[in-house]
Amino acid sequence: MSENLPEPVQPARPELPQPLAEQAAEIVAVRRGMFGGSGSSGDTSGYGRLVRTIEFPGQSPRPYGGYFDEVENELFGALDERDLAPEAAIEKVVVHRGQLTFHVRREHLLEVARTLRDDPALRYELCLGVSGVHLPGDTGRELQILVPLLSITHNRRVHLAVSCPDEDPHIPSLTPVYPATDWHEREAWDMFGIVFDGHPALTRILMPDDWPGHPQRKDYPLGGIPVEFKGAQIPSPDQRRSYR
């Protein structure tokens, strides 16, 4: 007659780390009109009196709900065990529109990514890509990458956000942790000019090698070719009237 052996239980963290202090939402811009354009021609959309604030959410209050609290506890505890204070590596934790996002300081990106990948209670084995963002109104953090991660083991998702200034557009490459980000980082460099330090071959992937500038930046000129139509001259897009 066999004995009923108890199932092995993973030891819990000795104590839960303290959550980050709450932060208020940050207003980075005020957009006027329907499309947020600017120029001397005035509004032609009929929505010139529309005013919208562009704001980024701050540190979310706990509890977050779902598995989000457990993921934060495990990540912060694992970073503590690696002698890396969570508040030194993570700027803020945001739960917004049903997504959990860790805003990571760029100098600690690789260690945070390795922890998320290797810790048995986290196991984010799959990186789903690297997307670039250009936010001219966010002074000192104009360039940003968003990295969605998936835990196949636990069927959980999390996002990493890392920012850098226009004057120093450098972020560590994630290829040592997630090799499949190779082409994603090349695209973010090509389109936004974000330099991924440590990338094995950071070259253009969509535009020709001698293409000037980075086309998806918001300060990139629209360009275009003037067209003549029934005697009327149509200028290129960046020289037309403002439809703000």
Quote the crossing angle between the two packed helices 109-118 and 68-81, to the nearest 10°.
110
Give the CATH number of domain 58-209.
3.30.460.80
Indicate whether 164 pLDDT > 70: yes
Integer Cα distance of 50 and 38 in angstroms: 14
At 244 the pLDDT is 46
Task: Give me the pLDDT at residue 183, please.
Answer: 97
Tokens of 206: 């969509």
Contact 19, 87 (CB under 8 A): no
| 74 vs 239, residue with greater confidence | 74
* pLDDT score recorded for residue 40: 53
Whether the pLDDT of residue 168 is over 70: the answer is yes
Please give the residue that has the higher pLDDT: either 210 or 237. Answer: 210
Band of residue 241 on the pLDDT scale cut at 50, 70, 90: low
Which pLDDT does position 197 carry in this prediction?
98
pLDDT digits (tens, 9 = 90+) for 107-152: 999 999 999 999 999 999 999 999 999 998 888 999 999 999 999 9
Instruction: Report residue 18's pLDDT band, with 50, 70 and 90 as the boundaries.
Output: low
Q: Is the pLDDT of residue 159 over 50?
A: yes
Average pLDDT over residues 174-192: 97
Which amino acid appears at position 188 of this protein?
A: A
CA pair distance 151, 117, nearest whole angstrom: 8
Asked whether residue 243 carries a pLDDT value surpassing 60, the answer given is no
- Give the lowest-confidence range in 16-20, 72-76, 105-109, 168-172: 16-20
Confidence band, pLDDT 50/70/90 cuts, at residue 7: low
Percentage with pLDDT > 70 across the chain: 77
Which of the 8 DSSP states describes residue 41? S
Mean pLDDT of the chain: 86
DSSP state of 179: G
- The per-residue pLDDT for 28 is 75
φ and ψ at residue 3, rounded to 5 degrees: -85, 150
Q: Please report the beta strands in 105-175, taking only residues with DSSP state E, as ranges in sequence order.
A: 126-127, 131-134, 143-151, 156-164, 170-172
What's the pLDDT score for residue 30? 81
What is the pLDDT, as a whole number, of residue 37?
Answer: 61
Mean pLDDT confidence for 82-106: 95
pLDDT tens digit sequence for 55-85: 888 899 989 999 999 999 999 999 999 999 9
User: What is the rounded distance in angstroms from the CA atom of residue 200 to the CA atom of residue 175?
Assistant: 8
